[in-house]
């Protein structure tokens, strides 16, 4: 879907930059349709030089030139960012999308003019290469048209699903943080390959392409991963030997615990004082 509007990316850190690159990369927006802000001089200079888009320190000024804002600051900075955006928000015109882990739509709505449409989303860093997995939900005042506008943006940087807001912390623990778990696995598999005699370069390529190919098969065939695993596992073969080690070391349980720990942490980030208007003074949690 084409994004035929102007998008303000508020906070051009790791995720804000992934957004900018992902949107430009697919040709879904041109440079003139993007504006970015950041508090850091270095980040502003980097984004301006790398992508040739308009960059400013002034969040309200950026929003006045845009229809949609993607707020990509840390949860600890969202109160400050919303305070800066609020004077420029026109509820009939603007859609405010937050990608902050844990922060509920109600917390965001309380800091913006009454009736402001808000969408909460959890993408992941693979936005950088147009392969993000995103889940999103709408706030109290967002209509279906706003959700469609947000979906257009997230489908430009990967694939997206709509979920109930109560599940957003679970999404954060799974697919928000998930790329980091995959990178750890790729690194460890490559280390194993090097230990077995492969060059570092060959091992890294083989490990990454193996995870990408395995994931592609799950997505394309719709088969259960256990069934696909059986296709790989020959009787008395190499895979059975490897799987025996992974199961005996509890890798399955460790991954499940990792997702649950991320889910709990997301909840904590949302609960750490952000809900209370009194916390709006200096960046909240």
List of residues contacting ligand A1CAB (CB under 6 A):
101, 172, 176-177
Shortest Cβ 283–ligand NAI spacing (Å): 8
* Residues near ligand NAI (CB under 6 A): 10-16, 37-40, 43, 59, 72-75, 77, 80-81, 84, 99-101, 122-125, 176
Q: Which is nearer to ligand A1CAB, 178 or 193 (CB)?
A: 178
- Looking at beta carbons only, is 132 or 203 nearer to ligand NAI? 132
Nearest distance from residue 264's CB to ligand A1CAB, in Å?
A: 12
Residue 80 binds: one of ligand A1CAB, ligand NAI, none (C-beta under 5 to 8 A by kind): ligand NAI
Q: Which of 146, 177, 178 is nearest to 162 (CA)?
A: 146
Q: Which CB atom, from 16 or from 176, has the smaller least distance to ligand A1CAB?
A: 176
CA distances from residue 159 to 136, 146, 181, 190 in whole angstroms, order as listed: 11, 17, 19, 28
Angle between helices 238-248 and 251-271 (to 10 degrees): 50
Alpha helices by DSSP H, the chain:
14-25, 41-51, 59-64, 78-85, 105-110, 144-156, 168-171, 178-195, 200-221, 225-232, 238-248, 251-271
- In the bound complex, which residue of the shown chain has the CB atom lying closest to ligand A1CAB? 176
Q: Of the two residues 120 and 193, which places its CB atom closer to ligand NAI in the complex?
A: 120
Q: Is there a contact between 128 and 72 (Cβ–Cβ < 8 Å)? A: no
Cβ neighbour number for residue 60 with a 10 Å cutoff? 15
The closest residue (CB) to ligand NAI is 13
The residue among 122, 130, 133 whose CA lies nearest residue 97 is: 122
Q: In the bound complex, what is the minimum distance in angstroms from residue 191's beta carbon to ligand NAI?
A: 23
Token output for 105:
């739509």
Nearer to ligand NAI, 55 or 203 (CB): 55
Beta carbons within 10 angstroms of residue 195's beta carbon: 9
Q: What's the min distance (Å) between Cβ of 269 and ligand A1CAB?
A: 7
Min dist. Cβ of residue 80 to ligand NAI (A): 5
């Amino acid at each position: 879907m084409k994004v035929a509007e102007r998008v303000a990316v508020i906070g051009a850190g790791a995720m804000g930059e992934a957004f900018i690159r992902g949107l430009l990369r697919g040709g879904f927006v041109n440079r003139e349709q993007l504006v970015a802000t950041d508090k850091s001089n270095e980040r502003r200079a980097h984004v301006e030089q790398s992508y040739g888009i308009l960059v400013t320190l002034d969040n309200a000024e950026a929003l006045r030139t845009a229809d949609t804002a993607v707020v990509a600051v840390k949860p600890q900075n969202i109160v400050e960012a919303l305070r800066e955006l609020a004077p420029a928000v026109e509820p009939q015109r603007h859609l405010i999308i937050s990608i902050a882990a844990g922060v509920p739509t109600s917390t965001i709505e309380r800091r913006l003019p009454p009736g402001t449409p808000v969408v909460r989303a959890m993408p992941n860093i693979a936005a950088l290469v147009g392969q993000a997995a995103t889940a999103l939900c709408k706030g109290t005042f967002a209509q279906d048209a706003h959700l469609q506008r947000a979906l257009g943006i997230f489908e430009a940087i990967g694939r997206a699903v709509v979920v109930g807001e109560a599940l957003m912390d679970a999404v954060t623990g799974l697919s928000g943080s998930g790329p980091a778990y995959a990178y750890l696995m790729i690194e460890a598999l490559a280390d194993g390959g090097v230990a077995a005699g492969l060059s570092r370069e060959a091992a890294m390529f083989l490990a990454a392409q193996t995870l990408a190919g395995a994931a592609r098969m799950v997505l394309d065939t719709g088969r259960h991963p256990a069934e696909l695993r059986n296709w790989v596992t020959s009787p008395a073969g190499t895979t059975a030997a490897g799987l025996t080690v992974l199961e005996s070391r509890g890798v399955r349980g460790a991954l499940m615990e990792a997702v649950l720990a991320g889910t709990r942490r997301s909840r904590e980030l949302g609960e750490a004082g952000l809900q209370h208007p009194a916390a709006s003074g200096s960046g909240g949690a």
